[in-house]
Structure 1
Amino acid sequence: MIKRVSFLRRKDGMSEEEFFAHWTGPHADIVRQMPGVRGLRFGRVQSWTPEESRWDGVGELWFDSVEAAHAAFATEPYKSLLAADRPKFTREIQACFVEEKTVVQPPDGR
């Protein structure tokens, strides 16, 4: 399994509450329907070092493989829906794919 980690900065003039509500609401409704999604998690950033480089959110999205993720993001109507939705709440997004190795299991299986 592979994880796509996304770092998001909210749209200028948008409050943190508005950003998080849209991201975990309407945007999540699109993402959870994408083919091959195995997991979805949202992280609200509490602090960042250095503060001037701060991201507002960290998203985690699991797929069977990088290829499966690329295929999901290229599938219509999700490709067009995501492209239309992102400018409504984000200023910038960067993402990477990571392969995890758990050394100590987080509490509650998180």
Structure 2
Amino acid sequence: MYKHVALLVRQDGLSHEEFVEHWQTEHTPIAREIEGVVRYQQVLPTEPDHAEFDGIAELYFEDLEALHDALGSDGSRDYDPEKGKAKEAREDVDNFLAIDERPRFIGEEIVQKDEVDGDTDGLYKHSAFLVRKEGMSHEEFVDYWQTNHTPIAREIEGVVKYNTVLPTDPEHAEFDGVAELYFEDREKLYDALGGEGSRDYDPERGTAKEAREDVDNFLAIDERPRLIGRERVVTDER
């Protein structure tokens, strides 16, 4: 499954609450009707005052061509001008988003663990946007991440679903990958991975501690945005 992940930052002058109101009330009904979208989900931060972004929007497509047709290629932020709903959605973002501060990512999702049968509505989610360590190629990064780190991360206490997302066009991607860890309970997430304002894993959690120590082997930590939030599945037609 391919998906377009947009990290959302509100316009100057808008409060987080005003941003959410416009996003949920005005923009969502447009975005979920974009041609080719088979699943649309959103993540709202659990602690907006400490979050690096105001939210995450994720649009899923069955194939990459359908995604590119609707939303533009990896190197473009422009929606296809001929696509009605995509064009309408692109025009509406100017009403509530700071466009130049909105990183985005197009990638292929790989499900590494799933104890909830894909039902993520209402789950708490730690999304980490990964940048490789200096001196590493993207290919070396992916090999280490998938081979060495993933077996550790998916065993972190409390994790019920774990996805990795690889960029479809690494040369144009803003990140080397996205790691998504899901928990059924917010406190379990905080216990394992730290709170919204912290990047430290709980030192008493064995597997989480091991995962935190291992990231130093392949990630540029200070360049790794993250967001802790609760997922809302708007539509799922898969």
Q: TM-score, normalized by length of structure 2?
A: 0.41
**Aligned residues of 1:5 and 1:97 also touching (Cα < 8 A):** yes
Q: Which runs of 5+ in 1 are unaligned?
A: none
Structure 2 CA distance, aligned partners of 1:29 and 1:106?
A: 30
Offset at residue 19 of structure 1 (A): 0.7
Q: State the match for 1:71 in structure 2.
A: 69
Q: Name 1:87's counterpart in structure 2.
A: 94
Question: 1:62: Cα distance to partner?
Answer: 0.3
Q: Tell me the CA shift for residue 83 of structure 1.
A: 3.0
- Structure 1 position 56, deviation (Å): 1.1
Segment drifting more, 16-25 vs 67-76: 67-76
Higher helix share: 1
Which 4+ residue blocks in structure 1 deviate beyond 3 angstroms?
none
Q: Percent identity?
A: 31
- In the other structure, the counterpart of 2:219 is none
Whether the 8 Å contact between 1:47 and 1:54 is mirrored in structure 2 is no
What is the alpha-carbon distance in structure 2 between the residues aligned to residue 47 and residue 97 of structure 1? 26
Q: How many Å separate the matches in 1 of 2:90 and 2:6?
A: 15
Map 1:1-110; keep pairs closer than 5 Å: 1-46=1-46, 54-73=52-71, 74=80, 75-91=82-98, 92-105=101-114, 107=116, 109-110=119-120
1-structure distance, mates of 2:19, 2:103: 16
Q: In structure 2, how many angstroms separate the alpha carbons of the residues matched to 1:23 and 1:14?
A: 12
The amino acid of 1:27's aligned partner reads: H
Aligned partner of 2:11: which letter? K
**TM-score where L is the length of structure 1:** 0.82
Structure 1 distance, partners of 2:90, 2:107, is 23
> Which structure is higher in RCO with an 8 Å CA cutoff and minimum separation 6?
1
